[in-house]
Structure 1
Amino acid sequence: MSESRVAIVTGGARGIGAATAQRLARDGHAVAVVDLDESSCTDTVTRITKDGGHALGVGADVSNAEAVNEAVARIADVLGPPTILVNNAGVTRDNLLFKMTEQDWDTVMNVHLRGSFLMSKAAQAHMTQVQWGRIVNLSSVSALGNRGQANYSAAKAGLQGLTKTLAIELGKFNITVNAIAPGFIATEMTKATAERVGVSWEDFQKGAASQIPVGRVGQPEDIANTVSFLTSEESGFVSGQVIYVAGGPRT
């Protein structure tokens, strides 16, 4: 087993974030489950502790610098210096360009891109001190372009640029920075998309699976498994990469 570390997972209350938090706990790490509402983290924290792991629920708006700094300081005080960070927090405000409001744009950019910047900046202070760290940013296949997601696509593409730049800057401190770009993953977020376009959840998944080479949609655990590798000791020579976990090749 890898050495026990302190991990932070943003957007950890549900979906990919919850699966990732639970997986990192099974890997032996103490996990800070961060979400906008601290009470929403309870289920994830409870599952981890029931399985014998150690977790802390933390409420924080990742787009707010003061809130981020307070959250990371609290995590360091309670669990120890965080050296694993998974920037997973995200929202969608989908619409075609002519219908998209400035608030739709700003909200998505602030959570995904500004949030990952602020969290990475706060966490790297602890990582550089101990000369070890792992940062994983959640991008998306939407970074390649997706109708009705100008804001989300731009934010997810921006995360790939952030990933590569931080990998260059932080590498000398034995910190790796990578991104995962999920394809279709069955979560509340994709379920909401099905509702928005007026398709049943079952048909939405079947339609997606028919376009995926492996013939199925992804599950949150598929992403969590990849995070597990990228945050391990063994992944130390993998940095600045964008891994498309999408059931087939995406370019």
Structure 2
Amino acid sequence: MNQISRPLLLAMVLLVCSGLSWSQATQPLLSESFEAGQSLPNGWTLQTWQPDVSRAEVQAGAAADGQQMLHINSSKPNHARVNYTVPVQANQIYLLQAKVKARGANADKLAAVIGVEGVYDASETVRDDQQWQLRELYIKSNDAESMTLLFGLGHFGNENQGDAWFDAISLTQVDAIPAGAKVIELPRKQAEQTQQANAAPPSLAESGKATPWLTVIGAALVLSVLIVAGAFALARRHQGANQ
């Protein structure tokens, strides 16, 4: 009996340990359904391109998860989004998911989207409120240490109006990206430094030549020295002749 129970016990222990390991590996870094209160959760902030046009709130109703959801309204075309910043590890892959609805947006611009602040690309847009639609976005962190998630109505260069709702938001670190998935990459720090270096004006040593105004000043100084020296020489000659 003991000889049979020991292998079974060992197998059960291994199964439990592997289950715990899997649970820890797939535990979301962010899970938000806006059920904790009537206002935006701590750290969630509204950002807009045009002031006094858009608002964001936690709204009660037929949510995707629970009884409340994030609601954004813009009375005029605007780029309005609610941001939340999370720490990330370098060279990892993250999956951002959210249930999304929208209503009243113009058809020629992006409506409700999820994305990352500072990255032009975003998820596929949602335009109607017939049912909640799942949007997924795979994010390559590159060398970033944090990223600011956005849940927006309209986007960069795609100002829009109407209403957008978001719920059941999660961010999870994953091992791979499935074929056909929507993928964005966070900007690399080295690329930003290179762009800044290229944008900086070259120094005189780097350019190998002085600027025009420095050339003029230098010529004027040389001419002044020659004039003073000539005047001094003439004065000495005149003094010698008088003697």
Q: TM over 0.5, yes or no?
A: no
TM-score range, shorter chain: under 0.3
Higher RCO, Cα 8 Å, sep 6+: 2
Structure with the largest fraction of strand:
2
Structure with the largest fraction of helix:
1
